[in-house]
Amino acid sequence: MELNLKRKVCSVIMVLFSVLVVKADITDTLHAIPELEIQASRLNYYLIGASVQKIDSITLSNYEILSLAELLNQKSSLAVNSYGPGGLAGISIRGGAAHHASVIWNGINIQSPMHGGVNFSTLPVCFVDEAQIQYGGASTLFGSGNATGSLHMAENLVFNHGIQGEISGFGGSAGNFIQSGRILISKKSWVSSLKFFTQQNKNNFRFQNTEKINKPYERLQHAGYKQLGIAQANKMMIGKHAWIGTNVWLLDFHKDLPVLMSDNGTSEVTQNDRNIMYSAYYRYAVNRLQFKFQTGGFYNEVVYHDPELELSNNNHSFSLINIAELTSTFFHQVDIGIILEQKHEKARSGSYQEPVTRNILSPILSLRYHRKPIVTSLNIRKEFVDGKFIPLVFSAGLDLTLIKGFSLKSQISKNYSLPTMNDLYWENDGQVTGNPDLLPETGWSYEGGLYFEQDNNNTMIHSSLVLFHNQISDWIRWVQDSNKIWIPLNLKKGRSRGIEAVAGIRSNLQPFKYVLDARYSFTRAVSLEAGETQMTDGDQLLYVPKHKVNLTLGWGFGSIYMEYSQIFVSERTFDNAQGTLEPYTLGNVLLKSGLPLKSIDLEFYFSASNIWNTRYQVKHAYAMPLRQFMGGIKILFK
Amino acid sequence: MILKKLKSQFGFPALFLILISCNDPAESPALYSNGVFISCEGTFNASNASVSFYSYATDSLYNNIFKTANSRSLGDVAQSITVYENMAFIVVNNSNKIEVVNASDFREIATITEVSSPRYLVISNDKAYVSCWGDHSIAIIDLKSYEVIKRIPAGIGPEKMIVYDNKLFVANTNAYDYTLDDSTLTIIDMNRDELLTNINIGAYNPVDLELDRLGNLWVLCRGRMNWDSFDQTPSYLVKVNPEDLKVLASYELFADAHPANLSINPDRDRLLYGIFFLRSGIFEVSVDDPGQGELFLDIFPYGFDIHQEKGELFVTHAAADFVSNGTLERYSPEGNLLESYTSGINGNGIAVTIAE
């Protein structure tokens, strides 16, 4: 009976897509949205020589129902450490910790001042118009925390595109339902966008419990999540040379936390993440002069509740950031940027004696010289934290065009990462205490690579081979002191070295389209001078895979697009006793098609994840789903 | 990797020598006998608890033997291990289960569920008695079906237990909540599996018990430690007559230190106590001349127990960061360090066993 039902469903899908092949038109979202304005200008303008991966608008559109955690795992070399679908997810760039990777939203750093991390499961891809991953340290330009890389995401509002609207609904395995929509009013001199996203996922997927006797098949219990998000953005021209803009995201995420695979019983623990991010800016640009003033904020509330233990933790943090940037060009070849950043951080928690604050003032000087075949830059940053000086940091980069299409890029940077509020201010409760005497972590980052890029009208080919080396000293680590009280200390030195290789082709030979994107990263991330820990010097750092491979193969015909992606993640160490998680490989399939009608366009979506039914763990003893399906429809109003 | 380097630098002869002389200590013996099992808690909420085995035959410690035998994790916080006949029972506290394995090869036999936050286990008459913090009870398990057949309410946070004359004595400490206190022993009639009585022994938070050579029951009481109000009461060693359940004597140990572990030597005339929160030391007390006792070893252990045949003291130490491998130390009965070994993470429970 069940088999018959599956056959029927498959038949319906096949027929539906066959019809669409005949009817479809060759346009719309299979083309990339042109890059009209890069919000993260510092990244693209002054960070010369660094390896930057742009996740193009097609990919963002194809994977709009995912969280950023899921997308980054599939499409980048980052190690995404997630406690299962919807679970807490942090990123590791080039072997660094989560707090070594800055997360820049519309120019505003949204790392939590309390712990330095960002939960990527709470960030929906459909709110993001541009996403770029910058590999390597860049504290000079993006401040504390950017010791191994950064993720930049932004909304991109384009003038003069008329009025557009869309609404979508998706449903799939394990009780996963998503609804989203957007209204865009784009006039000649102003544009406004409103997006919403809701998700209800029971997340009660079936999995083989390899941590229990006889390895039974079970359904995950108490792991559901609900999400509601609203994104609103505006941009308006003021005269010929200036414009203003605003961005706001409101995100509410409720998650039931499951028990470990090895545990019996069920959990009643829940976690609520509430985020508010806002930004307002003024930009002025004439021929050789650009000025930007931006103010923004990030509010994060995390409520953890364990009814069984009658435990409730309520943590609030707020960052207010003001940025003034002045860029001027001299002699057509030299750009000088003067940037002043001011940041006020505030955090409140039951674990602190009282609300704590921190004020940071950072002047930055950037120089960029460009004369064919060379582009080079030098950036210097001095930071004052509550009136104290942080040693000067700098970065220098080179981009040398060797012959047409081939270039050599290299970057060196000195970086730092301030202790988090938890590190500094956790109140001594007899078991745990903060340490106000902590020093910032400091480090060096070097990289060099050979890049090839060729772009003609129909086909774009790109490839690169990059070698990198990062070192972090005074790494802050929580240990127990002689009184058995947990305390953070500047203990460890960490080093990561590795290779990143990328090859990609994107071809648009109407009516056919072909996509190939292959990425390989080798990361040897080790602890040095492990201090009081017994971790042996030279051991691979926890949850950093040595090898990661991402492969994407796409094929399009008309408005039909199919994509197969495969990732491979090698063995990872999950504790200092050298417990390891087995390597895994996952295959995912995406099928998308458009059907233009008179007043609306329809888009059909189908995906299958983990199609080879791989048993795997990302975090030790946290269940991950076997094969899952998702289908949906989007209506685009013209 | 090392072999590759040797091969590249010295060629095949060096490699051959290494291969014929190498005795890899990580490789577990085929059968576990004549040794000591150590349950290692692992890191809380990380599901990396483990069991180590010390072999007298090879004078080696073999780590992670449960995972080696069963290709799966043991679970979260292995609190204690008990060996009975040819079975080992590993009480996995935060996973709410007890793993039953063949003690010879450590292959899985069963998993006992329906136990809420279990702590310790004793066996008598083909039944296991498990102290459970979750519902403050003693769960009784039929060892034929491995199912819970009865629960008997105990005091707050039933902890260690001991059997005397078919009576089960349960020390009721205060579990997770240090704002609560208990000063009782729960006594269960093991013939009828019914609550016999609860007796107040006049000192807060009984945590461990031993029987001396004269049949007296010694109860270690941690005292109150309220970290919110910094309110403390002294720790005590209390002597109880297990026949008439009368308190015979109480000996104050420390006003501001709270030991959690009590062991007795094979002659049953000398007690060792220790495992403090903010203090080092294992202390020695004679059952004939009790009192605070004397410092026996000035160390900061995480767990200890005495081998009941050899009299050797096995001591576990947690790593400084509590997330790395710990250390097992073996001491002579006189307190001389014999050997030290790298153990699993946060070694705690010690099952001295199988001297064959």
Distance from CA of B221 to the nearest CA of A (A): 21
Residue numbers in B near A577 (CB within 8 A): 48, 50, 63-64, 324-325, 344-345
Distance from CA of A309 to the nearest CA of B (A): 9
Please give the order of strands across the beta sheet that includes B217-221: B206-211, B217-221, B235-241, B246-254
Strand partners, A553: A516, A564
Compute the mean pLDDT over every residue in chain B, rounded to the nearest whole number.
87
- Interface probe with B: pick from A207, A218, A264, most Cβ of B within 10 Å: A264
Nearest chain A alpha carbon to B98: A264
Closest Cβ–Cβ partner in B64, B111, B319 for A534: B319
Strand partners, B226: B231
- Interface probe with A: pick from B95, B109, B115, B227, most Cβ of A within 10 Å: B95
**Burial status of residue B294 (CB atoms within 10 A of its CB: 0-12, 13-18, 19 or more):** exposed
Distance from CA of A260 to the nearest CA of B (A): 7
Q: CB–CB of A262 and B75 under 8 A? A: yes
- C-alpha–C-alpha distance, residues A382 and A395, integer Å: 12
Question: If contacts are CB pairs under 8 Å, which of residues 521-540 in chain A contact chain B?
Answer: 532-535
For residue A311, give its domain range. 2-637
Residue B247: predicted pLDDT: 97
- Does B179 lie at the interface with A, CB-CB under 8 angstroms? no
- Does A446 lie at the interface with B, CB-CB under 8 angstroms? no
Distance from CA of A621 to the nearest CA of B (A): 6
Residue numbers in B near A535 (CB within 8 A): 324
Residue numbers in A near B94 (CB within 8 A): 263
Residue listed under structure tokens 């034929």: B144
CATH superfamily, domain at B2-325+340-352 = YVTN repeat-like/Quinoprotein amine dehydrogenase (2.130.10.10)
Give me B201's structure tokens: 């022994």
Q: Pick out chain A residues at pLDDT < 70.
A: 1-41, 480-484, 529-537
The sign of the torsion formed by the CA atoms of A135, A138, A141, A145 equals positive
For B111-129, write each residue's pLDDT tens digit: 999 999 999 999 998 999 9
For B22-64, write each residue's pLDDT tens digit: 333 345 565 888 899 999 998 888 888 999 999 999 999 999 9
Q: CA distances (Å), B230 to each of A281, A358, B178, B227, B233, in order?
A: 52, 31, 11, 5, 10
Closest Cβ–Cβ partner in B45, B99, B277 for A484: B277
Strand partners, B286: B270
How many domains, chain A? 1
> Residues B18, B6: contact at Cβ < 8 Å?
yes
The number of angstroms, rounded, from the C-alpha of A551 to the middle of its chain's C-alpha atoms is 19
Closest Cβ–Cβ partner in B97, B300, B323 for A575: B323
Q: CB–CB of A533 and B76 under 8 A? A: no
> Residues B155, B116: contact at Cβ < 8 Å?
no
The number of angstroms, rounded, from the C-alpha of A154 to the middle of its chain's C-alpha atoms is 11
From first to last of its 356 residues, chain B has per-residue pLDDT tens of 333 433 333 333 333 333 333 333 345 565 888 899 999 998 888 888 999 999 999 999 999 999 999 999 999 999 999 999 889 999 999 999 999 999 999 999 999 999 999 999 999 989 999 999 999 999 999 999 999 999 999 999 999 999 999 999 999 998 767 677 889 999 999 999 999 999 999 999 999 999 999 999 999 999 988 766 678 899 999 999 999 999 999 999 999 899 999 999 999 999 999 988 778 899 999 999 888 789 999 998 889 999 988 999 999 988 766 677 888 999 999 999 999 998 887 777 776 655 44
Residue A140: predicted pLDDT: 83
For A36-92, write each residue's pLDDT tens digit: 343 336 777 788 999 999 998 889 999 999 999 999 999 999 999 999 999 999 999
Q: Kindly report the backbone phi and psi dihedral angles of residue B12, in degrees, each rounded to the nearest multiple of 5, phi listed first.
A: -65, -35
- Does A479 lie at the interface with B, CB-CB under 8 angstroms? yes
Residue A531: predicted pLDDT: 55
Q: What is the DSSP string of B11-55?
A: -HHHHHHHHHH---TTSPPSS--SEEEEEE--STTS---EEEEEE
- Does A211 lie at the interface with B, CB-CB under 8 angstroms? yes
Closest Cβ–Cβ partner in B45, B110, B324 for A213: B110
Distance from CA of B241 to the nearest CA of A (A): 36
**DSSP H or E stretch at residue B337:** strand B337-345
B313 contact partners, CB below 8 Å, separation of at least 6: B263, B272, B282, B297, B304, B305, B306, B307, B330, B331, B332, B333, B335
- Does B256 lie at the interface with A, CB-CB under 8 angstroms? no
Distance from CA of A118 to the nearest CA of B (A): 21
Q: CB–CB of B96 and A264 under 8 A? A: yes
Nearest chain A alpha carbon to B111: A213
Distance from CA of A484 to the nearest CA of B (A): 7
Q: CA distances (Å), A516 to each of A452, A562, A594, B131, B210, in order?
A: 15, 12, 22, 60, 71
Residue numbers in B near A576 (CB within 8 A): 319, 321, 323-325, 345
Residue listed under structure tokens 């059952």: B287
Q: Domain map of chain B by residue range?
A: 2-325+340-352
Closest Cβ–Cβ partner in B94, B114, B325 for A577: B325
Q: Kindly report the backbone phi and psi dihedral angles of residue B152, in degrees, each rounded to the nearest multiple of 5, phi listed first.
A: -115, 125
- C-alpha–C-alpha distance, residues B73 and B36, integer Å: 21
Residues making up chain A, counted from first to last: 638
Nearest chain B alpha carbon to A309: B176
At A483 the three-state DSSP class reads coil
- Interface probe with A: pick from B40, B67, B73, most Cβ of A within 10 Å: B73
Residue numbers in B near A534 (CB within 8 A): 319-321, 324-325, 342
Residue numbers in B near A264 (CB within 8 A): 95-97, 111, 113-114
Give me A471's structure tokens: 């070192």
> What is the number of CB-based contacts under 8 A between chain A and chain B?
109
Q: CB–CB of A620 and B108 under 8 A? A: no
Q: CA distances (Å), B265 to each of B58, B307, B313, in order?
A: 25, 8, 9
Distance from CA of A96 to the nearest CA of B (A): 19
Residue B295: predicted pLDDT: 94
- C-alpha–C-alpha distance, residues A603 and A594, integer Å: 4
Q: CB–CB of A533 and B323 under 8 A? A: yes
Residue numbers in A near B63 (CB within 8 A): 577
For A332-355, write each residue's pLDDT tens digit: 899 999 999 999 999 999 889 899
Q: CB–CB of A263 and B277 under 8 A? A: no
Q: CB–CB of A620 and B48 under 8 A? A: yes
The number of angstroms, rounded, from the C-alpha of B89 to the middle of its chain's C-alpha atoms is 12
Residue numbers in B near A83 (CB within 8 A): none
- Does A509 lie at the interface with B, CB-CB under 8 angstroms? no
Residue numbers in B near A490 (CB within 8 A): none
Distance from CA of A335 to the nearest CA of B (A): 49
Look at residues B30, B81, B80, B38 and name the one whose alpha carbon lies nearest to residue B57: B30
Nearest chain B alpha carbon to A481: B320
